[in-house]
Amino acid sequence: MDCLLCRDPGGEIVWQDGSCRVVRVGGREALDYPGYCRVIWRAHVAEMTDLDLHDRRHLMAVVFATEAALRAVVGPDKVNVASLGNQVPHLHWHVIPRWRDDRNFPDAVWAPERRPAPTGRPAPAIAALHDAIVQNLAEEQGGTFA
């Protein structure tokens, strides 16, 4: 089995621990939705309900810390959170900042383009995202994952 997310980080690493990593997505998606992150479980598992309760809570804590970090650092109009895995059945979450003038709003980012993506919205720095994630995990988990 050759799995893309077993082989490759899938983006620039923002934060990681022994069980999962947060990456800042590159390429076109980074231009369309600056700050787009993925949270990727390390082990090759397909569904959230393949994880035990402890792992599930840990992964969601990281997902929501990433959501909180994006709200603090890039201040989007909305955040979209999704775990699909139809193309790559290796558990990962999309955490996507959305703006009213982005290429698909108010549709999902997987829907056809409604307009060209606006330019001039800079991608957030890795360090700023990292620090915000650490702070949010610390607040939520009493420092366990900081």
10 binds a copy of itself (CB under 8 A): no
Applying CB under 8 A, among 20, 38, 40, 67 the residue interacting with a copy of itself is 67
DSSP H or E run through 14:
strand 12-16
In whole angstroms, give the CA distance from residue 32 to residue 128: 20
In the beta sheet, which residues pair with residue 37?
24, 95
- Considering beta carbons, is residue 19 or 80 the nearer one to a copy of itself? 80
111 binds a copy of itself (CB under 8 A): yes
Q: Which of the residues 20 through 59 are near a copy of itself (CB under 8 A)?
A: 46-49, 53, 56-57
Helix (H) or strand (E) holding 36: none
- Report the distance separating Cα 81 and Cα 60, nearest Å: 11
The amino acid present at 41, given as its one-letter code, is W
Question: Where along the sequence are the contacts to a copy of itself (CB under 8 A)?
Answer: 46-49, 53, 56-57, 60, 64, 67-68, 71, 78-87, 89, 98, 105-108, 110-112, 140
